[in-house]
């Protein structure tokens, strides 16, 4: 018989442990669990203002249908570059349709989008060219998913 201060494993009551476990499992399946994959790749590992790279983001859904937002039907995926502790979009000036549709994928669907990027970001209302250095980029599918980080090297023009 347990004493009055004894609990299940790690000091947690079995009921609370079961509720937490069910909650974690449920959240993992909210958007198809591990059945949704997002990747980002570059045409080159270096970028400069005079030597842009092609950024490609691919989403693949093998699970239940997912919707990650509402917006342009032609620009559903994106990517951000980390500068300090802030993220900035890499798809500046991308030509997107002005329609408003649910953005997402059905079971078994995939989507790939690409655009050119030359190391420029929007900072408030100004366009800033990133200083030479290493930066991390992640692909985006709305607020649903971010890809693994990939590193790209920004170099001075002419290098």
- From CA 85, how far away is CA 69, in angstroms rounded? 24
Predicted confidence pLDDT, tens digits, the chain (159 residues): 444 443 333 444 443 333 333 333 333 344 445 699 999 999 999 999 999 999 999 999 999 999 999 999 999 999 999 999 999 999 888 888 999 999 999 999 999 999 999 999 988 888 899 999 999 999 999 888 899 999 999 999 987
CATH architecture observed for domain 34-154: Sandwich (2.60)
Phi and psi torsions of 35, nearest 5°: -85, 5
- Partners of 71 in the β-ladder: 101
């Amino acid at each position: 018989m347990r004493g009055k201060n004894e609990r299940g494993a790690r000091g947690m009551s079995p009921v609370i442990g079961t509720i937490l476990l069910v909650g974690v499992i449920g959240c993992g399946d909210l958007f198809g669990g591990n059945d949704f994959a997002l990747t980002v790749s570059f045409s080159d590992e270096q970028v400069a203002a005079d030597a842009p790279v092609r950024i490609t983001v691919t989403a693949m859904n093998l699970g239940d249908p997912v919707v990650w937002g509402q917006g342009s039907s032609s620009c559903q995926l994106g990517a951000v570059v980390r500068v300090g502790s802030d993220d900035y979009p890499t798809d500046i000036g991308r030509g997107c349709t002005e329609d408003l549709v649910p953005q997402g994928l059905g079971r078994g669907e995939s989507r790939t989008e690409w655009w050119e990027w030359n190391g420029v970001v929007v900072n408030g209302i100004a366009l800033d060219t990133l200083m030479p250095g290493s930066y991390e980029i992640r692909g985006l599918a709305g607020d649903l998913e971010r890809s693994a980080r990939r590193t790209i090297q920004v170099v001075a023009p002419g290098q």
